[in-house]
Amino acid sequence: MLIGLGSRLSAAQTVELIHKGKGRMPPMPVLQGAELESLLRYLGVSAKVRRPKEADNAAHEYIFIGYRKFLDPDGYPAFVPPWGTLSAIDLNSGKYLWKIPLGEYPALAAQGLMDTGSENYGGPVVTAGGLLFIGATSYDRKFRAFDSTTGKLLWETTLPFSAGATPATYSVDGRQYVVIAASGGRDPKGPVGGVYIAFSLP
């Protein structure tokens, strides 16, 4: 919330937040000098910002100024689902082999609205045996295994935190494992932590 920011954070804290970012807000270290001063004034934080010489002379061809998500009044994507998919594409023809919704919003699933898909951050890993493992879903905290040929869901489990990462697979003493990093953070209502969870394949 930007309302009353000046009464909650000092100028130094606000500048640190802008430069380092937090949660979904990306860091903006290139924001310096007059631009930073203008932003602080807009936010109701009065401060004179020292202009680094390198910032004055730097030419930035591209600057990311943020984005707005197109959401409905309840905070869900304001367009027809699925809101996230997992797809297999034939690289020879460029055609989809299969495409399925990936992820769900627990509150909607509790109302019977399944297969909505959700935001996804992280890719899959595919084993030599054709198992596709993926976490990635931001809200349901699931880790899933699919048949990479058909897209059929074969297995799923709920993690303590959402896994916005790509899993890895490895072998120890002839036994294969798949490991995923789970930390949360994309869902403001969800738990946040930091763990690696490994599963052994049968």
Strand locations in 90-152, DSSP E?
A: 96-101, 125-126, 131-134, 142-147
Which secondary-structure segment (H or E) carries 198? strand 195-200
| pTM attached to this predicted model | 0.68
The whole-angstrom separation of Cα 51 and Cα 149 is: 56
Tens of pLDDT along the chain (202 residues) come to: 566 777 788 888 888 888 888 877 888 888 888 888 888 888 888 655 555 555 444 555 667 777 788 999 999 999 999 999 999 999 999 999 999 999 999 999 999 999 999 999 999 999 999 999 999 999 999 999 999 999 999 999 999 999 999 999 999 999 999 999 999 988 888 899 999 999 999 8
- Domains in the chain: ranges and CATH: 5-57 (no CATH), 85-200 (2.40.128)
Cα 145-146-151 angle, rounded to 5 deg: 160
Burial class of residue 156 (count of CB atoms within 10 Å of its CB; 0-12, 13-18, 19+) = exposed
